[in-house]
Amino acid sequence: MTGNQFAVYQLRQSPETRKMRFQSYGALQEKGIQIRYENYEQVYLGQMQPADSPDSIKDRFRKQLPRTFKGHAISVSDVLVLNRDGVVTSYYVEKEGFIVLAGFIRNGSSSSLISFETTGFHIEGKRGSWLAIDSIIIDGQEFFLMEHEKYGADGTCVVLDAAGKLIADSVYNGFDQLVQQRIKDYLNPPISVPEPVKQGKQPLEDWQKYMENGEYLRSSEMSEEQNYNMIDGRRNNAAPKKTERTSVLAKLRQRQAGIAAQRGNDVPQIKITQDAESVGDMERGRK
C-alpha cells in the first residue's frame, strides 16, 4: 500500500479459519486464537478520501460494494487497513466499532532483530529486559513499542526500529502524534545547507566606480568634472588648484623700496643687484 489508501482483508476459505469466521475479537482471545495476516486475503484496495475513517468506509460499503470488491459485505472478523500519510493502522471489525490490531501488517524480514513476538530483549544503556507490546508502520518501516518486563505499565516505554535501534525514549502514551512525528523526523532528517562564505568587498578601480553609477550620474560627471583623471563615480572632485609662488627677489626689492621711501633716499640699485645675484644663487640651489 502506498499513499493514502485503504484495504479490506477477509478470512481465507480454509478449514483452519472456520472457527474464526464472524467471531468477535474477545471470543477469539478467550479461545487463544491469534489474528494473523497469513489467514487473510485482500479483497479490495482503494484510495482514501480526505475525511475517511474506518466507520465511514464501513458504512459506505454496507450501502453499496464497489464493482472490484471480491468478497462478501464487510462484517465481524474482517480487517480494515488504512494508510494515511505513511502511517499504517489495522482495525478488526466488531459488531459495533473496531479494535486496533498491532502487528497485523508486517514488513519484517529474516534479518530483523525485533518482531511483535519479541520478549526478553536487552536494550543497550538500559537495565532489565523488554518486550514488544505494539507496532506501527510508517513510510514502509516497522517500529515497535517496547515495555519493561518488570515495571510494565508503571514504567515508561521506548520505541525501537526492526534492527533494535532506539528511536524514542520516555514514551508515555504509545504511538501518539508526538511519537509518530519523532519517528518521521528520524526517517526524514532535515538537510542542513551550509551558509555561503562571505567574501570581503574588493576595492574598485576608478572606472568601476564610474560604471556603478547610473546613466544620469555618469553623464553629469562627464559634463561637470574639472579633471578627467578624476572620473571615478563622484562629481566635482578636481585636484586642488596650484598657487603661484612669489619670487624671493621681488619680495626683497619691495622691502628695500619701502625702507628707502621711509628715509627719503633712492633705492640702492647696486645692493639690490648684489643681493639679487645671491638670492638667484639660492633659488637655483633650491631647484
| Residue 280 domain flag | no
DSSP-derived secondary structure for 261-275: HHHT----HHHHHHH
Domain end point (choices 158, 191, 224): 191
- Would you give per-residue pLDDT tens digits along the chain (287 residues)? 556 889 999 999 999 899 999 999 999 999 999 898 889 999 998 888 888 999 999 999 999 999 889 999 999 999 999 988 888 899 999 999 999 998 787 655 445 678 777 888 888 888 999 999 988 889 888 899 999 999 998 999 999 998 888 999 999 999 999 999 999 999 988 787 777 776 666 666 655 655 555 555 555 555 555 555 454 555 556 555 666 666 777 777 777 777 777 776 665 554 545 555 554 555 555 55
C-alpha span between 20 and 32 (Å, rounded): 11
Phi, then psi, of 65 in degrees rounded to 5: -85, 140
Residue 187 in contact with residue 195, Cβ under 8 Å?
no
* In a shared domain, residues 220 and 135: no
Structurally, the chain folds into a number of domains equal to 3
**Cβ contacts of residue 177 below 8 Å, gap of 6+?**
none
Same-domain status, 87 and 165: no
Domain around 42: 1-105
Query: How far apart, in whole angstroms, are the C-alpha atoms of residue 148 and residue 71?
Result: 41
Residue 227 lies in a domain: yes
Q: Are residues 38 and 96 in the same domain?
A: yes
Cα separations in angstroms, 147 against 23, 90, 120, 121, 166: 29, 21, 10, 10, 13
And the C-alpha cell for 80? 480494515
Neighbour-count burial of 141, counting CB atoms closer than 10 A to its CB (0-12 exposed, 13-18 middle, 19+ buried): middle
CA distance 203 to 233: 14
**Pair (93, 171) in one structural domain:** no
| Domain stops at, among 142, 170, 191 | 191
